[in-house]
Structures are given as structure tokens and as C-alpha cells.
Amino acid sequence: MSDQNFGRYGQPGQGQQPYGPGDAGQYGQPDYNQPDYNQPGGYPTPGTPVLAGYPQPVGAGVRGRRRNPFASWIGLPLITFGIYGIVWIYKTNRELAEYDRRIIVNPILSVLAVTFGAILIVPPFVAVWRLCDRARQAQRAAGLPELNTGIAFVIWLVGGGALYLQFEINKIWDRYPGAVEGQQVPLFA
């Protein structure tokens, strides 16, 4: 097998199928650098040929951090006198934008809307509504059932905001079981 069968970064070239765990690599040994689609974390990268029965990725994003919903909702905000709630809004908006580049957000403006925007009453509600909508868009990109933005917003208003949203955002990160925070992952829609 020659190197000319492979594209950039060791990916199979045109018409080549990626190796599975039982296929021989260049020297007759199993090629463990190629993904096994039947194992956790064995998902294709964009542009890689996909085995039959698997959805074709349409793009790539960066996996965010999986957080404990209860710690994000009540634990850390109580310990930090509410500061972690502001940090959570910043980090969540930034991670969703990095995950799917089609999600346009300036996390600093979201934080300003939630903090100083409270003087004008309306900006915090707009920022929370948009955060719920960004979570819905990210779930669509992951190929998951989408949350209802209106229900998420109402849950936020009655006090369950970060709890429910963090549960829903964790579903996105759980979609990629072998990936770690900051790793490039495929988008499916």
C-alpha cells in the first residue's frame, strides 16, 4: 500500500474506505490510527468516506465542556455569590459558538446584557432567550432532538434556568463519547 492512496493528514484518498480494527494497515498490521465506527468515539471527520448506514458529517466544530448541571445551577453560584452564573453564561455562549460556527454570538455582550442590561429590564430576557435558542441550534447540528426554546425560557424564568439548559447542552457533548473538551468533532445537520 503506498502513501499516494492517502489524502492530507493520513485520511483515505478518493474512493478509499477507512480501515476498521480488523483491516491491515501499511505493513499488514491493524491500523489503529483510523476510526472504528462501531466503537465509542469512532465517528468520521468531515470529508472522510463513511461506512454504509452512518450519517455523513456536514462540518466540524469543537466539543465543549460537560458540566454538572446541579453545580452550575445552584452549587457554584451560591459559593461564589452569583459570579459563577455570569461566568457560566459567558462560557456556555462561547462553547456553543465554537461548536457550530453558524451560531453567531458575542459572549461578552451576553454577559453585559444579563448584568448591566438589567437596569433596562428587557436585555437579560433577550439574552436568556437567545441562549436557549443557541442550545437548540447546537442540538440540531449534533443530530439530536431539539429542545423547545419557549419551554426552556419559561423554566429559566421559574428558577430552573442553568439546570435545564446544562442538561440539554450535556446531551450535545455526550453525542461524542470518545471526544474530550476542545477536540474537533463532526456536525451532522
Q: Domain spans of the chain?
A: 65-174
Band of the pLDDT at 161, cuts 50, 70, 90?
confident
When mean pLDDT is compared across 26-30, 114-118, 132-136, 172-176, the lowest value belongs to 26-30
Phi, psi of 186 (to 5 degrees): -80, 150
Band of the pLDDT at 49, cuts 50, 70, 90?
low
Determine the Cα–Cα distance for residues 10 and 94; give it in Å rounded to an integer: 31
Q: Which residue has the higher pLDDT, 120 or 8?
A: 120
pLDDT in tens, 58-81: 889 999 999 999 999 999 999 999
Q: What mean pLDDT is predicted for residues 47-66?
A: 78
Determine the Cα–Cα distance for residues 11 and 1; give it in Å rounded to an integer: 14
Say what the pTM is: 0.72
Q: What mean pLDDT is predicted for residues 147-152?
A: 96
Average pLDDT, the chain: 82
Q: Which residue has the higher pLDDT, 63 or 26?
A: 63
Q: Which residue has the higher pLDDT, 7 or 181?
A: 181
List the beta strands (DSSP E) in 20-100: 59-62
When mean pLDDT is compared across 46-55, 145-154, 157-166, the lowest value belongs to 46-55
Determine the Cα–Cα distance for residues 144 and 16; give it in Å rounded to an integer: 29
pLDDT score recorded for residue 46:
56
